[in-house]
Chain A
Amino acid sequence: MRTLLGRWLLTAVPLVFCVTALTFVLTSLVPGDAARSILGISATPEQVSALNNQLGLDRSMPAQYGRWLLDAVRGDLGTSITSGVPVSQELAERIGVTLSLILGALVVATVIGVGLGVYSAVRGGWSARAVDVISLLGLAVPTFWLGLVLLTIFAVRWQVFPATGYTAFGDSPVQWFESLVLPVVTLGLAGSAPVAKQTRSGVLSELGRDYVPALRSRGITERSILLRHVLRNAGGPIVTVLGLMVIGLLGGTVLAETVFVMPGLGSLAVTATSSHDIPTIQGVALVFTIVVLLVNLAIEMLHAWLNPKVRS
């Protein structure tokens, strides 16, 4: 466990530095003068340099980055240029929406992907081809388009689910659930394709291993062989694919939250981008990176749980 955490930190720390430094370098390339664009054209050069001094923009880039980093560690990610609200406060208010979406999509993708993968591995025939077709479609159909189609059918035509918006769990659990169904299904369907593919090939190769006939010779049922033994042994790579999928879902939430007008981090990132709200977009990038790293840690821990050789 300790080595696992150590190895994780070995990737996590450099990655946080890399991503934050990258965003920082990028944002320092902003054409024009930030202070001037805040103050307007009528500002005097003295006012501009005063604000530059106040924002720390007159210092060297490493110094600015160091200061940003120190503030970030204290939880201060600056203030949104457009709304004037502290970035950390805005992030805290919105992260629940995005995490609900991701967790929901993870569940949907796991159930569909693993179910279809196992079924097609055992049955072959049409279901195997179905997995091929679905994985191709999963690659080809853009998340936002799929979301719009589901929205047209289930919200505009049949009005089964609300078209847009988000209800907090605390306000009404039922409405919370209903508001999540369409975006979660959209993201989950897109994510299930690679999971199904990996599950099928993993289960097929595990079924060819010697312990399978050995278990059969001991009278263990096919059901237990498949679900208890084979699936567990095929689990490592499936978990890896699920982890990569979650990382991809972060990008997906940006689109899904826009389609379904949900007040999450993704839609925040989009508005921040179009309004050049640099502190906010930096904050979102930091949070997303941390989420990715936590997902990676979860993958490592699941691997250790699944594979006794990793544990010892």
Chain B
Amino acid sequence: MTRTTPTAAATPVAIGVPVAHRGFCRRLLRKPLAVVALGYLIAIVVVTVLAGWIAPHGSDDQDLAQALTGPSRAHLMGAGELGRDVLSRLLFGGRVTLLGEVISVGVFAVVGIPAGMIAGYRGGWFDRVVLRVADLVYAVPVVIILLVVLAVFPNDETIAMVALGVLGAPSLARVVRSATQDIRDELYVRAAVVAGLSDAVILRRHVLPRLAGPIIVQLSLFGAAAVGLETGLGFLGLGVTQATWGTMVAEASRNLGEQPWLLIPSGFVIITFVLALGLLGDGVRDASAERFEPGRPARRPILRSIAPQRLLQVSTDNSPGAQDELLSVSGLSVTFAIDGVDTEVVHDVSFTLRRGQALGIVGESGCGCGKSVTARALIGLLAPGGEVTAGRVVFDGIDVTAADRATMRGVRGRRIGLISQDPVSGLDPSFTVGQQISEVVRRHRGCSQQEARRRAVELLQMVSLPDPTAVSKTYPHQLSGGMAQRVGIAAALAGDPDLVVADEPTTALDVTVQAEILDLLRTLQESGVAIILVTHDWGVLADLCDRALVVYAGQIVEQATPTTLVAAPGHPYTKGLLRSNPRFGVPGRPLVSIDGVVPAPGEWPAGCHFQDRCPLVTRQCRVGPVPLFALARDPGAAGDDRGEHGVRCVLVDHSVSGGARV
């Protein structure tokens, strides 16, 4: 249900039914199935009411010569016991079922709707009583109560149907109650209260129309169930004794051996009638859902990793340091389907990583600049809707962008571990920490359950959790954020990976815990594990990383060692980031934030992506894509060919001599 939004509060509101209510019928009429269902129900009602005029025979007219025969010219739907015409009996019998339907649904509505509305609107003791009664009635075996009623009042279907309505009403009251609660606090209802209208008027004129959708859904569902019960009672011979849809099924059951056809007409009419009620209910539900949530996103396939783009042969790189090279990303572009439109979120990202090296990816926090997406593309785990559209990721000779699922399962966890941003939600709430880690251990080592448990405790000890045995027996909801992140790291390390991708691992944690987690990552790196750290924190970057990529709006805008970046940033964006960072602020001077926001994917300007926020923007920035220019060799780099200082800015090209494309 919608809640009042701040924008709605700002606009003047007329007292009355909101505009949203209008057009409901129109939306319903646009649902062909619901229209057909409604038409069918009306048709059934009309022909049964007119049975006396249109039925070819009387309900009890006998034609003994034709007893128990199939469809014929004399009896279009065949004839039953004593040669009574099936079609005519269906028409007359429908009156009983429909009357029962009207009684039970009527009682259901008359008791349930007011009770639910008052409970939801007023709250208090009445509300508690309604809820309690609904709880109790949920557990009452309805059919048995109806049998008790019929034992007392033999064959009195009216009383049985009233009882059915009463027994069903509390569940309707519960639905109406919660819908009323949603509406109660809306602005137009409160405006009506302020205007001095009485509760009765408010409920009838302002609340009830809004409840129409859920109520009709409940009525049609209950109506469907009531038809089933009414015909069931008829079948059991406990309802009225004349011809009804239910007694006709009973008649068929007595003659199954001779004329099984008799099952068909009565069964067909019951099933289609209930089906029509169900479809009408579905249609109403959908139509009333649409009015509150326009433009529902289309469902996307869920179980889908990266689709293999093309099967590239992995080339052997002969450049210096290739033996050492663990990961090579070249020209990586990723698109996401956003509102059905494929939108590029990462554009042409390239970098390499050697064993034991730590690489930082830095950018504004929480922006759409593509840090996290890049990190996830490395292990082939983009969120649904994401796709690698260009470039490739080669990890230790395996082309991640083209590998099949089995290969990737051998890479994930075993070769590359992922530490996610939100530690608690990354853990399955239903299993203990120990169970979850040992599952990963077993998956990658194929060892015994006990061995895996032992290893899990070892891993928990490795990430410096106090009393690892006790922690292994706890559930995720019992952990603090810091503990959960250590558990997340332990799980990422369970397969002994060569590379750990940490996606903002400290964002959700408080400062002291952050430092401890970073210590842990440093220890990890010292033990020879390569790390890719996604962060927005310069301090973390400078502390831990050998190299850093500054990303903005899907592109690498600068790459260098953290020292170089801090001491001699080349890109205006990097400079802006540093100026706005308290860590590098000068006491007494205000921090300067970068004006504007990161453009959303799909709204990137032609030319430099940073142009709209750049203080130094020139006309040339808007001309066309800006390449990554190499500055003089980065003194902080370890000496391989990718170690240079690269900057994606036209000003660099002009202001620094010897600038060359990377």
Taking Cβ atoms with an 8 Å cutoff, the residues of A that contact B are: 11, 14-15, 18-19, 22-23, 26-27, 29-31, 121-122, 124, 136-137, 139-145, 148-149, 151-152, 156, 204, 207-211, 213-222, 224, 228-229, 232-233, 244, 247, 250-251, 254-255, 258-259, 269-270, 272-274, 276-278, 281-282, 284-285, 288-289, 292-293, 296, 306-309, 312
Contacts and interface: CB of A to CB of B under 8 A. Distances in A.
Interface string B417-444: 1101010011111111000000110011
Contact of A140 (B141, B224, B477): B224
Contacts, number: 240
Q: Which of A27, A244, A269: most chain B CB closer than 10 A? A: A269
A309 B426 CA distance: 17
A26 B162 CA distance: 14
Contacts of A122: 302-303
A10 to B, nearest CB: 10
B144 interface: yes
B152 interface: yes
Interface stretch (B270-278, B522-530, B610-618): B270-278
Given A140-B278, A289-B140, A145 B267 contact: yes
Given A140-B274, A213-B383, A258 B236 contact: yes
A259 B253 contact: yes
B480 interface: no
Given A122-B302, A210-B426, 7 more contacts: A152-B263, A214-B491, A218-B440, A229-B430, A247-B141, A284-B147, A285-B144
A142 B256 contact: no
A202 to B, nearest CB: 13
Given A219-B444, A269-B147, A307-B430, A214 B418 contact: yes
B567 interface: no
Given A18-B136, A122-B302, A211 B152 contact: no
Contacts of A211: 425-429
B267 A288 contact: no
Given A218-B412, A220-B413, A247-B139, A233 B249 contact: no
Contact of B275 (A140, A207, A224, A269): A140
Contacts of B439: 220, 224, 228
B238 A156 contact: no
12 contacts: A139-B278, A145-B249, A210-B426, A217-B417, A218-B440, A219-B412, A228-B439, A233-B428, A251-B141, A273-B150, A276-B154, A292-B141
B301 interface: yes
B405 to A, nearest CB: 8
Contacts of A23: 145, 148
Contacts of A307: 429-430
B638 interface: no
A155 B381 CA distance: 54
Given A215-B428, A308-B475, A220 B144 contact: no
Interface string B150-171: 1111100000000000000000
B151 A278 contact: yes
Q: Which of B228, B282, B410, B478: most chain A CB closer than 10 A? A: B228
Helix, strand, loop or mixed for chain B's interface? helix
Contact of B260 (A156, A214, A292): A156
Contacts of B405: 222
Nearest first, the 5 closest Cβ-Cβ pairs linking A and B are A219-B413, A251-B143, A217-B418, A214-B426, A218-B413
B16 interface: no
B272 to A, nearest CB: 8
Contacts of A244: 138
B235 interface: yes
Contacts of A149: 263, 267
A156 B431 contact: no
A9 B1 CA distance: 35
Contact of B257 (A11, A156, A216, A312): A156
A29 B305 CA distance: 67
Contacts of A293: 139
A210 B238 CA distance: 54
A216 B302 CA distance: 13
B142 interface: yes
Contact of B495 (A18, A219, A222): A219
Given A19-B140, A219-B443, A296-B139, A229 B271 contact: no
Contact of B147 (A15, A142, A156, A281): A281
Contact of B238 (A207, A218, A273, A285): A273
B91 interface: no
B143 A214 contact: no
A18 to B, nearest CB: 6
B380 to A, nearest CB: 9
Q: Which of B143, B151, B477, B494: most chain A CB closer than 10 A? A: B151
A205 B39 CA distance: 35
Contacts of B253: 144, 148, 259
Contacts of B275: 136-137, 139-140
A250 to B, nearest CB: 5
B152 A27 contact: yes
